[in-house]
Structure 1
Amino acid sequence: MTSGSTAPASPWFVRPPSADHPARIFGFPFSGSGASAFSAWPAAIGGGEVCPVQFPGRENRLAHPHYGTYEDLADSLAQALAPLLDRPFAFFGHCAGALPAFETVVRLAEQGLPQPECFFVSGQPAPHDAARDRMLTMTEPEMRAELESFLRGRGIEPRPDMIDMGMSVLLRDLAAARAYGRTEPVKVACPLVVVHWREDPEVSLEQLEGWRQYSDSVDIRVVEGGHYDFMQAPDELQKLLASWR
């Protein structure tokens, strides 16, 4: 691609990635969310264009069939990403979004495609510990209350139709999370930077230690904030995301 051009339009991206930046950061959203989880992020961080991935079955892809499993999602994503791996890139996956991101790294390696220069994992235990997520044991009324609380925390007064739509996405995403599991760690070639949010009630620092088995280079970093504070792209996180190049 020449400077100033953009990649062909793809449903996997709300905006086509451009060729104006020397690198890319692909963002993977958490369960029940979509690319809008990154809407407050700057267009680029440390020279890397921020490219939020839009999973099917939500937001502007609501009419698209749900991806089903993390493995199927990774298979499709590896194909969709292939034309965009023409420059250095990193993955950032928050919470359960880190799991299909990990599976995508594995698929890229299996297909002989370029690997991320860094994989940032935010607030998510390693694949072999993924079943510990507390949302996987919630009843539907508890999930609905959680979703309402999340929206209110973002300054949005939840309408019943909004909650119904959010629940339809969340339930399918959590079904994928329940179906996922790796009993043994699988090492990837890229370095891992594992982010722990100091005020995160969801995931402890100890629960992130399992990632040390997934790469020969694992750096666990503690940053200020709570579980969803990544959405505001705080300065401390941006400095970390700019450090891989």
Structure 2
Amino acid sequence: MTTGTTTTSPWFVRPPGTDHPARMFCFPFSGAGASAFSAWPADLDGIEICPVQFPGRENRLGHPHYGTYEHLADALVEPLTPWLDRPYAFFAHCAGAVPAYETVLRLAARGLPTPEVLFVSGQPAPHDAARDRMLSMSEPELRAEVRSFVRSRGVEPRPDMLDLGVMVLLRDTAAASAYRRTEPATVDCPVVVLHWREDTDVDLEDLYGWRSYADSVEFRVLNGGHYDFMDAPGELRELITGWR
């Protein structure tokens, strides 16, 4: 395996460095990009935070959309490989947990190092992914969803911002709708499943399907709502740095 270099990759908003003993690769939710982690520090207790930038959004808006979660996971293996030269973890929120999980399977199949732990936040297990309420929404309903989300972040969305957000969300939800995994395939790393106590989208019971995806599956309940992970609250920081 090739060790990390400073080669620029579009998959990372900044090239991972070589000064940290560990890394955490962060996967955003549907309709979002790496900026979902912009409020996170670049370093958490010696762990370098490496947000993953999916194609078809933000600074990769001109890149073709990934199409399916399977294609996304396939495409991620090569850009990740140089950076698997030290202990690392995956953190994935909401629908981002599905391509993160599929990526772990592909890394293992190629004999590459797999994460020390896979953190999944606010997302039912892959075989239950079709429960996502957004998958049954019309375009006007998705537009209202984007508007509400942007306002919740303290920004009044412009029409062009809404148009762009809806375009990305429509493509991402199409990928989510096309995803099918009927039988769990286990990963060879522990899975830590996070539930947000004030999450109105996902109940704790909705997450129990993850029990079939690893030999070690732990459930943790954190204070906050569905999108509060974006602010990297102290309770979350303490939890996700505990694997080191």
In the alignment, which residue of structure 1 is the partner of 2:34? 35
Cα distance between partner residues in 2 of 1:62 and 1:68: 14
Amino acid at match of 1:17: P
Unaligned runs of 5+ in 1: none
1:78 maps onto 2:83 in alignment: no
Using the size of structure 1 for normalisation, the TM-score is 0.97
Cα distance between partner residues in 1 of 2:179 and 2:243: 29
Using the TM superposition, give the Cα deviation of residue 47 of structure 1 relative to its aligned residue in structure 2, in angstroms.
1.5
Using the size of structure 2 for normalisation, the TM-score is 0.98
Residues 105-153 of structure 1 show CA distances to partners (whole Å, capped at 9, x for unaligned) of 0000010000000000000000000000000011111110110000000
In the alignment, which residue of structure 2 is the partner of 1:179? 178
Aligned length: 241
Residues 188-234 of structure 1 show CA distances to partners (whole Å, capped at 9, x for unaligned) of 00000000000001110001100010000000000000000000000
Using the TM superposition, give the Cα deviation of residue 46 of structure 1 relative to its aligned residue in structure 2, in angstroms.
2.5
Q: % of aligned pairs identical?
A: 71
In the alignment, which residue of structure 2 is the partner of 1:142? 141
Amino acid at match of 2:34: A
Cα distance between partner residues in 2 of 1:191 and 1:177: 24
Q: Where in structure 2 are the equivalents of 1:101-180 lying within 5 Å?
A: 101-180=100-179
In the alignment, which residue of structure 1 is the partner of 2:234? 235
| 1:46–1:241 CA contact under 8 A, matched in 2 | no
Q: Which runs of 4+ in 1 moved over 2 A?
A: none
Amino acid at match of 2:162: I
Cα distance between partner residues in 1 of 2:205 and 2:43: 31
In the alignment, which residue of structure 2 is the partner of 1:92? 91
In the alignment, which residue of structure 2 is the partner of 1:53? 52
Using the TM superposition, give the Cα deviation of residue 6 of structure 1 relative to its aligned residue in structure 2, in angstroms.
5.2
Cα-Cα RMSD: 0.8
Cα distance between partner residues in 2 of 1:167 and 1:235: 31
Amino acid at match of 1:67: Y
1:15 maps onto 2:24 in alignment: no
Unaligned runs of 5+ in 2: none
Cα distance between partner residues in 2 of 1:111 and 1:69: 20
Report the secondary structure of 1:90's partner residue: strand
Cα distance between partner residues in 2 of 1:219 and 1:140: 36
